[in-house]
Amino acid sequence: MKTIKYFKDYIKEKKENYKKTSVVLIINDNNEILILKRSKAAHWNPNKWILVGGGVEKNESYLEAAIREVKEETTLNVSSLKKIDEIFSKKENCNIIFYQTNTFTGNVKLNFENSNYKWVNKYEYNKYEYVPDVQKLIEIHFKII
């Protein structure tokens, strides 16, 4: 009985302590995906390419975080986000929900977290070095794998 109780406590603790992250695949009218280059001063994966996204704050839903992160990182206003995937990274102790949208307004203006951006198509996306899981998601979008 103690083993089962301990295991349940462990599961509860893990659920409460993992990081929550929202990531958004933003697609323009040319079926290109917006990618951002992490700044060289970034604490996690500097100089690698990512999708727009970040951590979920206290009392915030994954969807709310996705919308907020897009605005903070790019100044774009997004809507009509559709959940497309969810993964749990044991290595990062992080649950990630991926959204997709082709509905946005504004022009990309980067904040301090990123140093560059590109709109990539299915012929050029693989020229960049990405943070974990991003290239796979892009390949799924373009149906290449």
Tens-digit pLDDT profile for residues 44-102: 899 999 999 999 999 999 999 999 999 999 999 999 999 998 888 777 778 888 999 99
Q: What is the pTM of this model?
A: 0.84
3-state secondary structure of 10: helix
Q: Does residue 10 form part of some domain?
A: no
Q: Does residue 3 form part of some domain?
A: no
Residues 6+ apart with CB under 8 A from 112: 39
CATH of the domain at 75: 3.90.79.10
Q: Does residue 2 form part of some domain?
A: no
Q: Does residue 6 form part of some domain?
A: no
Q: Does residue 115 form part of some domain?
A: yes
Quick check: 44 and 53 in contact, CB under 8 A? no
Is the pLDDT score of 17 beyond 80? no
Question: How many Å apart are CA 37 and CA 123, to the nearest integer?
Answer: 19
Quick check: 88 and 94 in contact, CB under 8 A? yes
Question: How many Å apart are CA 101 and CA 53, to the nearest integer?
Answer: 13
Which residue range(s) make up the domain with 137? Answer: 19-142
Task: Give the confidence band of 43 by pLDDT, cuts at 50, 70, 90.
Answer: confident
Q: Does residue 87 form part of some domain?
A: yes
Query: How many domains in the chain?
Result: 1
Model confidence over 26-42: pLDDT tens digits?
Answer: 999 999 999 999 999 88
Q: Does residue 40 form part of some domain?
A: yes
Residue of 133 and 75 predicted with greater confidence: 75
Q: Does residue 89 form part of some domain?
A: yes
The pLDDT of residue 4: 42
